[in-house]
Structure 1
Amino acid sequence: MVVCGDDGLAHRLTAELRDMYGQQVTLVVPPAGSTGAPARTRVVPAGRASALFGRMTAVVARPQSGDRGAIAQRLIEAADLDEEALSAAGVEQASALALVHQDDEVNIRAALAARRLNPRLRLVIRLYNRKLGLYLERLLDQAAAVAAPDLERETVDASTTVLSDADTAAPSLAATAAVGTSKVVQADGLLLRAVERMPGERGASAGPGLCTLALLSASGGDPAGADGPDGHGGRGPQLLPDEQSVREANGPAASGPAAGGPTTTGRPAAGRGTIELQAVSYTGPAVSPGRLAGRGAPLGQLFSRRLRWSLFGVFASVLALAVASWLTTRDNPLHAAYLTLLDLFAIDDPAIGQPVSRQVIQILSGLTGLLLLPVLVAAVLEGLGTFRTSASLRRPPRGLSGHVVLLGLGKIGTRVLAGLRELGIPVVCVEADPEARGIALARRLRVPIVIGDVATEGVLEAAGIERAHALLALTSADITNLEAALCARTVQPELQVSMRLFDDEFASVVYRTLRAAHPQAVTRSRSVSTLAAPAFAGAMMGRQILGAMPVERTVLLFAAIDVAGHPLLEGLTVEEAFRPGSWRILALDLAAPGERRPDLSAPLPDAGKDRRTELVWNLPQGYVLGAQDRVVLAATRQGLAELLAGAPRVRAGATR
C-alpha cells in the first residue's frame, strides 16, 4: 500500500496499516527541509529507514523529518506528486493508495494520475470539500470502469473513497460537549445508533436493543468518560464485552444482554457506563418545526424587547380611545375607530361645537399620535439595523448561560460548530483570525463570535466562560488549547473541558495533571489524526468497512465480511465465532451473493421508496456460518486486522 502525505494523519495512517493490518507500506513525502525545490524523486536508502524502523513501534509525537522512515518499510521523497513519483512508489502494483495531503488540489491531481497508471487501484482521498468529493468519486469510478471493462467480473475492489478528517473527527469532538450524544453508522439503509448509558439510567429505547458494545472506564462522576491513558482507576474501556463481564461490571442487579440478544436499558447506580447498539429505521430527514417559519427573521430579532413593549402600549391606547369614542358617541364601532385613527394622525377636522367627550378623546388621540411617531421611527431604524448587521458578527447576549465556548474556527472547528448547532446546543465562538474559514458559517447560523486571542485578558470572559457548560479548544496549536483550558479553569474550576492535542504523551501528562488539580471536573483530550486514521485505514482495506465509532480514546470498527476463506468464522456458530474484546457478529446479509450491494454504507439508490433491509439482526446463537454468508460485525482494530490477515488474497492487479 502507498500513502502520500507528511502530516499527522499520514504518519498515523501508515502506522495503522503496518501495525494493525500487517501491510507493506510505502510512504511518499516531500523532501526534508526543502521548499520550492525542483521536482525530483528519490528513494531513501534502506539502511536509514530500517534503522529508524527498529527504534519506533508507534507514532506518538509529531514526526520530524529524520523520523519519517521509522513508520514505513519504504520511504520515497518527491517534491512533486506526479506520475514519476507514483511509479517510483509502485502504484502500478499496489492494492491501495491514500492521498492525504492537506492541499485538495495536490490530492486531486495525484488521484487522476494514479487512476491512469492503475485502473484496478483502490483510492482513498482526503478532501475537505464534500460536494467536490462526491463528484470526484463518480468520475474516478467511471474512469476505472472504462479503462478496465472486465473489472466487474473480477474480485478486485477498485473503489474510490473520499474522506475528510474534519468530518470523521467532528462527531466525536461535538459529542464531548453533550453527554449521551449517540453515534450513528449506516448499513444497508438502516441506521445503527450507539447510545451511551450511565449507571442507574433508565429510559425509553428508540429502537430494539442489539448488544452492548463497550463498558466505559468512567463512573457516574464523569459520565462522558474519564478517557485518560490510565482510565478510571487504571481501567480503560472494555470493548465488546461478554455477558459475564457486563454482569460483573454492573453488579448482580444488572442484566446484560444475552450474546447477540436484546439488551436492557436499566443500569444500577453503582457500576460502569455502557455503550449499547440500537437499530433505528430510516424514514428520511425530519424537518424541524421552525424550518419553514425561519425563512424570515423572527420578530424578536427584528425589534428589541423595549420597542415591542412601546408599540404594544401605543396600540393598546389607540384601542382604548376607539372603545371610549364608541361608548360616548354611540356611533357605529367601525366609524368610531375610523374617527380615532383620523385624530391619531391629525387629519380630522377639529371637534368644535361637538360634545366635550368627543373633544377630549380627539386631544388624547392627537397626543397618542405624537407618541407613536418616534416609536415608528425607532422601529424602522431597528429593522434596518438588524438587516444591516445580519452579515456582521454577533456579540454574546447578556445573561447567556449553559452554552459551549468553541475556540478555533478552522476546518475542524467549522465542522464541530455545524454539528453542535444541529444538536441544538447554544455556542459562542472565539477566533483570533477574523478571516477564518468558519466565520461565514457562524455568521449564517447567527452564532455569537468573539474576535481575539485567547491569551488576551478578557477574551474568554467576553464569551461568558464563567457561565458556560463546556469549553472545546480546537485550534491547531496544542499550547493555545492548553492555555485556554488553564485560563478557563481559573475562572470556573468545574468547567467541562475538551482539548484537541496531537501528542499523545503530552495529552497524557496534561490529562493526569488537570484531573489531579480538579477531580470533580470533566477533562478530555482528542487527536484529530487519531480519530480519523482508523476510518482511512479501513477504507484502504476495502469497502467492507462501514464506519468507525470512537469509544473514549479507542475505536470500534463496523465491517461487512464475506465468511468464505475465514477460518475464524467459516463453519462456526455465531456463539463460537464471538471473541470478546476482538469482534462480535451483529447481522447476517440475506441477499444472494450475486445481488449483494458492494458497499452497504452507501446511501440506497431508492431510499425514498419502501425497501426492506436484507440484514437480519439478533441471530440465533446456534446458526452455523457458511461460506456463502456475509456478516456485519463490530471489531476492534486488532481484531479486524486479524480477520483480514486470514482472508484469501486476490490477484489481477490488487491484493487484499
Structure 2
Amino acid sequence: MAENETAAASAFLVCGLGRLGQYCAVLLKEFGVKVSGIDQVEAQHWELPKLRERLDAVVIGDCRQVEILEQAKIRECRAILLVTNDERVNVAAAFAARSLNPNVRLVLRSAQENLNALLSEHLGNFVAYEDTQLPAAAFALAALGDANQGFFNFEGYLLRVVKETMSPSHRWCGCRQLYELNTASRQVLSHTCGHAPLQDAFYQWDPEARVQEGDILTYIEATERLASESMPSTGRTQPLWRTIAPTLRWRNLKRTLQSVWQDSNQTQRAGILSSAIMLGLFLGGTALYKLTYPDASLLDALNLALVLVLGGFDNLFGGGLKLSFPIPWWLYLFSVTMTVASTVFIGILYATLTEWILAARFQFMRRRPPVPKANHVVLIGLDQMGQQVANLIQTLKQPLVGIGAVPLDPERLPQMPFVAGTMREALKRVNLATAKSVVVVTDDEVVNLELGLMARMANPRCQLVIRAADPRFGDNIARLLPEARVLGTDALAAEAFVGAAFGENILHLFHLNERTILVTEYHIEAGDTLNGRLLAEIAYGYGVVPLFHQKDGHQFAKVTPSDDVRLHIGDRLVVLATIEGLQRVEQEKTLKRSWLVHVEKAIVPGAVFEGATTLARISGCAIGTARTVMDQLPQTLPYPLYKHQALRLVRELSKVRVIGHLVAADD
C-alpha cells in the first residue's frame, strides 16, 4: 500500500504449495510482484496449470529451517504466507522468518484463536486466519437463496447486503432515482436493468437512472445496535440504589413479574405460587401472634411464625408439652394450617430444585428439535466448516436440518435438528422435496456431486450449493448443474490471505454477482497511496465502497461517510473491495477521470461564493481555482472528475442556485 514500502520490498514468499498455497501464489502474481514458494517435496501434479512456470523460484525443503528461508531470500520479502497443512510448522516457520527479517509481514494459517492473539503481540506485523472460517459465510449466504447476500457486524452496527428484484408495488419502483437511495445508512452497490448481465464491479450504474419494474438492485444497509451494546462505558459505577430504584416502581415491577411468570414452566409457576402463599402465611402468623400477645416482642412473634412455617409444629405443641401461655382455638387452627402448608411447600421446593439439578446435570439428554416441514435448509456434512455454516444459518434465524454419517455430539448445535446414517436413507427423512436449499460441504468432492444430483432429482426447485476444492472438478459440476452454486473453499480463503499479505486487515468476505467481495480495513500511514485523498477519489478511482471512516483520535467511526472526507495520517478506513480493487490501491492505478463540469451561471449574486465553496469541496480542487471559475462564468472547471462525482457536483450546485452540466473530457 505504501509507495516507499513497495519499492523497498516487492517480493512475496508462499510456504506450502498445496491447493491454498497455489491459489495464493496465482493471486499474488496478478498484482505484478515477485512470488517464490517453499514446499516440502517437489509436486508431481499442480492443481493450477502452468503455476510452476509463473513462480519466480521454488525451493524444496522445510520452511522452518533458516537455511531454506535464506535460500528463498526471506530478507528481501515484504510478506511471507505460511499456509501449510500443519499449524505447528506454520508457527515454527513464523518465528524463524521473524528472526531473519524483523520487518516481514507474517500471514499465518491457523485455527488457534488464543495462540494467534499471543503471537500477534509477540511477533508484530502478524495476522492469522482459519482457512475454513471465511468461506463458511459464503456458503451460508448462498444457501439462503433470497435477498440476503452478506451479513456481518462491525463497530456496533449490523450490516446486511441485500439483493432485490423490483416489483411494481415496491416503494422505490418508478418514483426514485438511484442516487436518492443512498442515505446515511444505505449505499447502492449495483443496478441491473431487466435481463442485462450482472455487473462485476462497483459504480457501473447510472446515478440518475430511475428504478423500474424488473430491475435488480443490490445495496448494503447498516442498522445500529442497542445503545447498551454500542455506547462505551464511562468507567464510573453507579450506586446500587440507583440501579435498583427504577425497577421498584410499580409499573416496572409489574412488567418484571409478568415477564418472569410468562417465561416460567408449570413446575416453576407452582414454586412461585407456593412461595407467595408461604410468605403471606408467615407475615400473617407474625401479625396474629403479636396482636394476640401484646406483651411478646416482635422478635418472639417472628420466631414463632418462622418455626411453624418450617414445619416445627411439634416443637411448640407436640410431645405433651404445655405452653406457658394460653392460645385461642382459632390461632391454634391457624398454626396447624401453617404447618400443613409448609409441608406442601417444602415438597414443591424439593421438586423444583430436583428439576433444576437434573436439567443442569443431564442436559445432554435433551432431544433435538423435529425436522422442519418445508422452506428449510438441508446441510450435508458437519465437519469444522459445516458446523460454522450451521452456526451462521442459525444466526440468520433460518430453519435448518443437518445430515451426517455419524451422530453429532449433543453439545454441538443443540438447537439444530440432525439426522445420522447413510446419506441415501437420511435424505428421505429431511423433507427434501419441500426444502428451500441444499448445501453439500463434505470433504469428498465425488460424494458432493452424487448428493447434489440426488437433491436435484428430489427437488428441482431448491437452491443447490456444492463444495468443490478441485477447480477442474468444480468447473465440471458447474457445467453439469448450471443452476447450482459451486464454491471452492481454498479459492475463497486465498483472497483473504493475499489481501492480508499487503498489510490490509480482511475483516470478512462474501459472494456477490459471482465475485468475492472483501471487507478490508486500512490504517493510513505516512507514504500511503490513500493519504491526502478524498473518499470520492478512492471510491470511484479504485472501485471500492467506503463503509466506515474514523478520524485519528476520534472514538467513533462514521458509517457510509461522505465523498468529501479527506484522509489523513492515523485515520482508519473500511471498504468493500474486489481483489482487483485491492490491486489498484496497491499499485496506485486509478480509473480514468472522464468528465468535466461546465458552470453556466449563478441565479442570484450570493450564489457565486457558495458555488466556489461547493466546487472546491466536492471536486477537491484549490479554492482559488474554484473562485476563478465562478468569477468568469460561463466557465468549465479545469479538473476532470469521475461520473458519479461530477453528477453529484451538478446537483449540489443547483442547491445553491448555480446552474451547471456535464461535458465529456477530451482524450
Q: Is structure 2 residue 136 aligned with structure 1 residue 170?
A: yes
Match of 2:126 in 1: 160
Alignment of 1:525-564 (within 5 A): 525-543=486-504, 547-557=508-518, 558-560=520-522, 562=524
Match of 1:402 in 2: 375
Q: Which one of 103, 124, 141 corresponds to residue 120 of structure 1?
A: 103
Q: Which one of 215, 218, 224 corresponds to residue 274 of structure 1?
A: 218
Following superposition, the deviation at residue 121 of structure 1 comes to: 1.8
Following superposition, the deviation at residue 17 of structure 1 comes to: 1.0
Alignment of 1:152-551 (within 5 A): 159-178=125-144, 179-181=146-148, 183-184=150-151, 189=155, 191=157, 193-200=159-166, 208-215=184-191, 235-244=197-206, 252=210, 254=211, 268-278=212-222, 280=224, 283=227, 391=364, 397=370, 400-433=373-406, 439-440=408-409, 443-454=412-423, 457-515=424-482, 523-543=484-504, 547-551=508-512
Rounded to whole Å, the distance in 2 between the matches of 1:96 and 1:88 is 16
Cα offsets for 1:602-623 (capped at 9, x unmatched)? xxxxxxxxx74254744255x6
Residue 161 and residue 80 in structure 1: after superposition, are their counterparts in 2 closer, same or farther (change >3 A)? closer
Residue 394 and residue 105 in structure 1: after superposition, are their counterparts in 2 closer, same or farther (change >3 A)? farther
Q: Secondary structure of 1:239's match?
A: coil
Following superposition, the deviation at residue 137 of structure 1 comes to: 2.0
Following superposition, the deviation at residue 541 of structure 1 comes to: 0.3
Q: Secondary structure of 1:165's match?
A: coil
Residue 620 and residue 486 in structure 1: after superposition, are their counterparts in 2 closer, same or farther (change >3 A)? closer
Following superposition, the deviation at residue 536 of structure 1 comes to: 0.8
TM-score, length-normalised on structure 1? Answer: 0.60
Q: Which one of 19, 26, 34 corresponds to residue 24 of structure 1?
A: 34
Following superposition, the deviation at residue 109 of structure 1 comes to: 1.6
Cα offsets for 1:541-581 (capped at 9, x unmatched)? 003655444324312333426497577x6776554554378
Q: Which one of 65, 69, 73 corresponds to residue 82 of structure 1?
A: 65
Match of 2:346 in 1: none
Following superposition, the deviation at residue 241 of structure 1 comes to: 1.9
CA contact (8 A) 1:566 1:646 kept: no
Amino acid aligned to 2:33: Q
Following superposition, the deviation at residue 210 of structure 1 comes to: 4.2
Q: State the number of aligned residues.
A: 464
Residue 491 and residue 284 in structure 1: after superposition, are their counterparts in 2 closer, same or farther (change >3 A)? farther
Rounded to whole Å, the distance in 2 between the matches of 1:440 and 1:198 is 38
Cα offsets for 1:352-385 (capped at 9, x unmatched)? xxxxxxxxxxxxxxxxxxxxxxxxxxxxxx9999
Q: Secondary structure of 1:198's match?
A: strand
Amino acid aligned to 1:560: Y
CA contact (8 A) 1:5 1:101 kept: yes
Rounded to whole Å, the distance in 2 between the matches of 1:631 and 1:397 is 45
Amino acid aligned to 1:493: P
Amino acid aligned to 1:27: G
CA contact (8 A) 1:125 1:163 kept: yes
Amino acid aligned to 1:241: Y
Alignment of 1:61-72 (within 5 A): 63-64=46-47, 69-72=52-55
Following superposition, the deviation at residue 122 of structure 1 comes to: 0.9
Following superposition, the deviation at residue 513 of structure 1 comes to: 3.6
Q: Secondary structure of 1:63's match?
A: coil
Q: Which has the larger radius of gyration?
A: 2
CA contact (8 A) 1:3 1:98 kept: yes
Following superposition, the deviation at residue 529 of structure 1 comes to: 1.4
Amino acid aligned to 2:503: G
Following superposition, the deviation at residue 274 of structure 1 comes to: 1.0
Cα offsets for 1:45-95 (capped at 9, x unmatched)? xxxxxxxxxxxxxxxxx8359955244221111156332322222223311
CA contact (8 A) 1:214 1:241 kept: yes
Following superposition, the deviation at residue 136 of structure 1 comes to: 2.6
Rounded to whole Å, the distance in 1 between the matches of 2:371 and 2:389 is 24
Following superposition, the deviation at residue 413 of structure 1 comes to: 0.8
Rounded to whole Å, the distance in 1 between the matches of 2:513 and 2:110 is 26
Residue 421 and residue 299 in structure 1: after superposition, are their counterparts in 2 closer, same or farther (change >3 A)? farther
Q: Is structure 2 residue 34 aligned with structure 1 residue 92?
A: no
Q: Secondary structure of 2:96's match?
A: helix
Q: Is structure 2 residue 578 aligned with structure 1 residue 640?
A: no
CA contact (8 A) 1:562 1:630 kept: yes
Rounded to whole Å, the distance in 1 between the matches of 2:53 and 2:505 is 29
Ranges in structure 2 where 5+ consecutive residues have no aligned partner: 1-11, 173-180, 231-258, 271-354, 590-667
Match of 1:136 in 2: 119
CA contact (8 A) 1:2 1:91 kept: yes
Match of 1:10 in 2: 21
TM-score, length-normalised on structure 2? Answer: 0.59
Residue 627 and residue 420 in structure 1: after superposition, are their counterparts in 2 closer, same or farther (change >3 A)? closer
Cα offsets for 1:248-294 (capped at 9, x unmatched)? 5xxx3x2xxxxxxxxxxxxx4411131334364685669xxxxxx99
Rounded to whole Å, the distance in 1 between the matches of 2:141 and 2:417 is 21
Rounded to whole Å, the distance in 2 between the matches of 1:387 and 1:487 is 41
Following superposition, the deviation at residue 501 of structure 1 comes to: 1.6
Higher relative contact order at CA 8 Å, sep ≥6: structure 1 or structure 2? 1
Match of 1:37 in 2: none
Rounded to whole Å, the distance in 2 between the matches of 1:585 and 1:477 is 39
Residue 477 and residue 285 in structure 1: after superposition, are their counterparts in 2 closer, same or farther (change >3 A)? farther
Ranges in structure 1 where 5+ consecutive residues have no aligned partner: 35-61, 142-158, 220-232, 255-267, 287-292, 303-310, 312-381, 516-521, 596-610, 648-656
Residue 553 and residue 185 in structure 1: after superposition, are their counterparts in 2 closer, same or farther (change >3 A)? same
Following superposition, the deviation at residue 483 of structure 1 comes to: 0.8
CA contact (8 A) 1:396 1:463 kept: no
Q: Which has the higher helix share?
A: 2
CA contact (8 A) 1:393 1:448 kept: no
Q: Secondary structure of 2:446's match?
A: helix
Cα offsets for 1:481-527 (capped at 9, x unmatched)? 11111111222221221111224454344334434xxxxxx621211
Following superposition, the deviation at residue 409 of structure 1 comes to: 1.6
Rounded to whole Å, the distance in 2 between the matches of 1:561 and 1:9 is 27
